[in-house]
């Protein structure tokens, strides 16, 4: 593994960093309070090719490598986790599986406008009784002539009320369990497809986490992604790759909290000097910085393996497990350094603390990551 980043990776990182500072940071606190979906910023991200980052140019994307993509997620999460998860879900769990498993006709119809940032994507796996046990999906897809009829409901779907295209997992044969699951692409506006409650969440509050409802929803047979019965594998392959992106998000949240803490430690005076002069604060900052660096290496290592065409399931899960844990710890220390001020909404660390927690939950809880890591280790 080469520890030198390429000129292209550095260029992508600094471009996204400048954009995030100028366009996303100023609205982050506000959209956290109002839960307003950041459409204006997402449209600009589309124009900058941030919404189809790792998709090859021939399908409308930017065609950058996985490390550059991880850097982009981190830079956005550093200022706003809501925007970063909308972007990561769109790229990793909607665009990417269409690219991997779609036919050329599906890529032309669905992927091109998504990767160009003209449309927004979502991913719908979770159901009331299918959380960590993802194979317990009860939504059904029944073939009727040239159409599938979708029946069921999905919960906790990022961008659920906003997405133009949603990749869903539904059962084409309930008797076969996980081997009966299939993947489908459903377009906003299809009769019988609506959204329900938008969740009032602890963090990532602007990401429109929504219930999706399918009632006699008819979609063309051609919207089947891959083959019938291969949906679970498609879902798992997708999540293997996307989990390192949530790890990158966790690194970004933690880095944002550390940056704020360093600034505060230099400015805030107690006992006649800046609190950064006290060893108690210095040790906290040192631990925070070291954890972040270690987590970032895990993310970039997983990305490197993926790019090199090597297995990365375990490393992606490890990156997510560790980065999400240290993001919770680092953001907690950041609030501690800020003292009473850190407990108010006047300081970004209060938001970072709330945002960090979800990285231990979505795209597989920490307990699921441990299952994945242990299974790989015991192979």
> Measured from the CB atom, is 240 or 260 closer to ligand CAA?
240
CB of 328 to ligand CAA, least distance (A): 17
> Measured from the CB atom, is 263 or 375 closer to ligand CAA?
375
- Interaction of residue 126 with ligand CAA, rule CB under 6 A: yes
- Interaction of residue 214 with ligand CAA, rule CB under 6 A: no
Coil/strand/helix, residue 137:
coil
CB of 241 to ligand CAA, least distance (A): 10
For 349, residues 6+ apart whose C-beta sits below 8 A from its C-beta are 257, 260, 261, 331, 334, 335, 337, 338, 342
185 forms beta bridges with 167
Total residues contacting ligand CAA by CB under 6 A comes to: 26
Residue 300 in contact with residue 222, Cβ under 8 Å? no
Candidates 228, 363, 367, 376; catalytic one: 363
> Measured from the CB atom, is 252 or 364 closer to ligand CAA?
364
* Joined tokens for residue 124: 């719908």
- Interaction of residue 248 with ligand CAA, rule CB under 6 A: no
* DSSP per residue, 206-217: TS--EEEEEEEE
Nearest Cα to Cα of residue 65 among 134, 9, 125, 14 = 9
> Measured from the CB atom, is 202 or 286 closer to ligand CAA?
202
CB of 234 to ligand CAA, least distance (A): 8
Residue 320 in contact with residue 244, Cβ under 8 Å? yes
Choices 131-139, 194-202, 211-219, 260-268 (CB under 6 A): range interacting with ligand CAA:
131-139
Tell me how far apart the alpha carbons of residues 317 and 323 are, in angstroms, rounded to a whole number.
10
Tell me how far apart the alpha carbons of residues 61 and 94 are, in angstroms, rounded to a whole number.
13
Tell me how far apart the alpha carbons of residues 218 and 302 are, in angstroms, rounded to a whole number.
39
CB of 355 to ligand CAA, least distance (A): 13
- Interaction of residue 232 with ligand CAA, rule CB under 6 A: yes
Tell me how far apart the alpha carbons of residues 179 and 252 are, in angstroms, rounded to a whole number.
36
- Interaction of residue 91 with ligand CAA, rule CB under 6 A: no
Backbone angles phi, psi at 214, to 5 degrees: -120, 115
> Measured from the CB atom, is 239 or 247 closer to ligand CAA?
239
- Interaction of residue 362 with ligand CAA, rule CB under 6 A: yes
Backbone angles phi, psi at 163, to 5 degrees: -65, 145
CB of 86 to ligand CAA, least distance (A): 9
- Interaction of residue 97 with ligand CAA, rule CB under 6 A: no
Whether 363 is a known active-site residue: answer: yes
Tell me how far apart the alpha carbons of residues 101 and 93 are, in angstroms, rounded to a whole number.
12
> Measured from the CB atom, is 255 or 316 closer to ligand CAA?
316
Question: Which residues carry out catalysis?
Answer: 363
The binding site for ligand CAA (CB under 6 A) comprises: 85, 89, 93, 123, 125-126, 132-135, 158, 178-179, 232-233, 236-237, 239-240, 313, 362-364, 368, 371-372
């Amino acid at each position: 593994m080469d520890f030198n980043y390429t000129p292209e990776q550095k260029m992508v990182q600094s471009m996204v960093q400048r954009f995030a500072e100028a366009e996303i940071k100023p609205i982050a606190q506000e959209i956290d309070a109002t839960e307003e979906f950041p459409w204006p910023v997402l449209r600009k991200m589309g124009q900058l090719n941030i919404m189809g980052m790792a998709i090859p140019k021939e399908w409308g994307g930017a065609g950058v490598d996985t490390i550059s993509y991880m850097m982009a997620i981190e830079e956005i999460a550093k200022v706003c986790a809501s925007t970063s998860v909308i972007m990561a879900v769109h790229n990793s769990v909607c665009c990417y599986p269409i690219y991997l498993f779609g036919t050329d006709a599906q890529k032309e119809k669905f992927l091109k406008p998504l990767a160009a940032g003209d449309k927004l994507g979502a991913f719908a796996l979770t159901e009331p009784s299918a959380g960590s046990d993802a194979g317990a999906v009860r939504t059904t897809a029944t073939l009727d002539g040239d159409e599938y009829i979708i029946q069921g409901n999905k919960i906790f779907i990022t961008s659920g009320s906003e997405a133009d295209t949603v990749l869903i997992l539904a059962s084409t044969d309930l008797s076969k369990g996980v081997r009966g699951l299939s993947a489908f692409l459903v377009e906003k506006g299809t009769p019988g497809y609506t959204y329900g409650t938008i969740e009032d969440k602890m963090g990532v509050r602007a990401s429109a986490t929504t219930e999706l409802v399918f009632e006699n929803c008819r979609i063309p047979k051609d919207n089947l992604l891959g083959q019938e019965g291969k949906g679970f594998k498609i879902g798992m392959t997708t999540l293997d790759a996307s989990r390192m992106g949530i790890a990158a998000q966790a690194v970004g949240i933690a880095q944002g909290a550390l940056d704020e803490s360093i600034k505060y430690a230099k400015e805030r005076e107690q006992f006649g000097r800046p609190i950064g002069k006290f060893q108690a604060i210095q040790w906290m900052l040192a631990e925070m910085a070291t954890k972040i660096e270690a987590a970032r290496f895990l993310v970039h290592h997983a990305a490197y393996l993926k790019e090199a065409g090597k297995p990365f399931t375990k490393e992606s899960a490890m990156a997510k497990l560790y980065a999400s844990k240290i993001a919770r710890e680092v953001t907690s220390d950041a609030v501690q350094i800020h003292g009473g001020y850190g407990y108010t909404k006047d300081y970004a660390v209060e938001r970072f603390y709330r945002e960090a927690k979800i990285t231990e939950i979505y795209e597989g809880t920490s307990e699921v990551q441990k299952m994945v890591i242990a299974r790989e280790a015991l192979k």
